[in-house]
Chains A and B, each alone.
Chain A
Amino acid sequence: MNRYERWAAAAVALLLVAGAAIFFYAPTDYLQGPVQRIFYLHVSSAIAAYGCFAVVLVGGIIYLRIESLAADRFARAGALVGVVFTTVTLVMGMLWAKPIWGTYWTWDARLTSTLVLWIIYAGYLLVRRLAEPGRQAARLAAVVGIFGFIDVPIVHFSVTWWRTQHPGPIVVNDALPPQMLATFLFTLACTLVLAAVLIGIRYRIETLLDERQEVFEPAKVVHTPQPEASR
């Protein structure tokens, strides 16, 4: 077992403990019943996704300033892991919404802005795939990552004013039983550990991909613009 496999095993073990806490330790919600147990992972993975996209933002800014390859690799890793966590958030939210709201989807501020978030970073990953690897792609992606991060709060606040169904961001209040709060905080910590481990592993993969790029395609590292014949 290498270092990365040990990290991954630890993160999975932690999440299994969190799963046990969600199902056996946390009390069943009086109004919503067992479906409320979605809450723990739904909110945790949303917070983990924000964290990942913050990594993309910071990585992008650092790359634009000092052209650090490591910052760019962190940004790539953060975007991929963030899209995964956003997908988890959206799917779990839809599964929760169906029994409680009676529909999988509604054009609520929180839902809309989360979908926009997913689309922006899926676009970021496409830029990385379609642009020729190297300095150019890294710069372009950094700009996309920075604009994407700014766009999401804007969308969120601009749609907040007229339609809201999603409960507010206040999780911790007096009505929350301490077992629920403890389960939530523990699940959140485990999810953040998982996100960090995934970013670490992806960072390693990106490093290996970059090295392979340099070994096999040395000509492509220096990008020279070519006049195009086709329209």
Chain B
Amino acid sequence: MNPLRVAVAVARKDLLSEWRTRELVPALAQFVILALLIGNFGFQVDSRNANVIAPGILWMALVFAGLVAFGRTFAAEREQSSLEAMLMTPASPLAIFAGKAAAAAAMLVLCEAVLLPALALFFGSPISIELITAVLLATVGMSALGVLFAAIVARVRARELLLPLLILPLWIPIVIAGAQAVQSAFGLPGSYDQAIGLLVDFDILFVVLTSLAARFVLDE
């Protein structure tokens, strides 16, 4: 079987099932709006400090929305025990993993499509190409790690407890580089090019490492 076609088929299946139920993306959208609301209460935002606070709120909202999204990645497979069925086909586990990661990344991008305009509306921060590039690059690494660890915890008893504990520390490098890029995109000091370069490096590293590890995780 052509691995690329397998990956596309798995991603298409996930996106189609999301399109039919429309469960996750609306929930995520509401979740990020709520995160912005709580950020507003927590920080006493006004026009002078909004630019300083906005990057922090953006990353908090994105990271926690990511946790919610990746926690649901294998929900359907778990409920129907269909992951075992998929793994019994001759399709390579890596292709299945890539398809799941692509679908999860697409849903996180939809969530970002709500988050960034809402941030611009409520915090007056500009939406720029630099901002979108940084967030999209971070999504790549976050999705690779997120889906790998979602697969790891999918068959563990206390998965809701474990996923945040495992994934958040491993996302920290991406958050460090992404936050620096967004801060400089919002006009705060810091080198944008250096941060983006770092983000690309982390993306490549994590995509390669998760592809190597996927075989051991999705192999039962």
Chain A residues proximal to chain B, CB less than 8 Å: 64, 116, 119-120, 122-123, 126-127, 130-132, 136-137, 139-140, 142-144, 146-148, 150-151, 154-155, 158-159, 161-162, 225-228, 231
Contact A140 B156 (CB under 8 A): yes
Write the nearest CB–CB distance from B1 to chain A, whole angstroms.
23
Q: Which residues in A have their C-beta under 8 angstroms from that of B152? A: 140, 143-144
Specify the chain A residue showing the minimal Cβ separation from B173. Answer: A154
CA distance A227 to B77 in the complex (A): 10
Contact A140 B217 (CB under 8 A): yes
Specify the chain A residue showing the minimal Cβ separation from B194. Answer: A161
Contact A139 B209 (CB under 8 A): no
Contact B220 A227 (CB under 8 A): no
Q: Which residues in B have their C-beta under 8 angstroms from that of A137? A: 156
Contact B155 A154 (CB under 8 A): no
What are some 14 contacts across the A-B interface (CB < 8 A)? A116-B169, A122-B165, A127-B162, A127-B166, A130-B162, A137-B156, A143-B216, A143-B217, A147-B170, A150-B205, A151-B170, A225-B84, A225-B220, A228-B79
CA distance A119 to B166 in the complex (A): 9
Contact B216 A64 (CB under 8 A): yes
Specify the chain B residue showing the minimal Cβ separation from A153. Answer: B173
CA distance A116 to B205 in the complex (A): 19
CA distance A225 to B155 in the complex (A): 8
Write the nearest CB–CB distance from B137 to chain A, whole angstroms.
14
Q: Which residues in B have their C-beta under 8 angstroms from that of A147? A: 145, 170, 209, 213
Specify the chain B residue showing the minimal Cβ separation from A156. Answer: B173
- Give the interface centre of B81, B156, B157, B173 by most chain A CB atoms within 10 Å: B173
CA distance A80 to B157 in the complex (A): 21
B38 within 8 Å of A (CB atoms): no
Contact A136 B166 (CB under 8 A): no
B129 within 8 Å of A (CB atoms): no
B45 within 8 Å of A (CB atoms): no
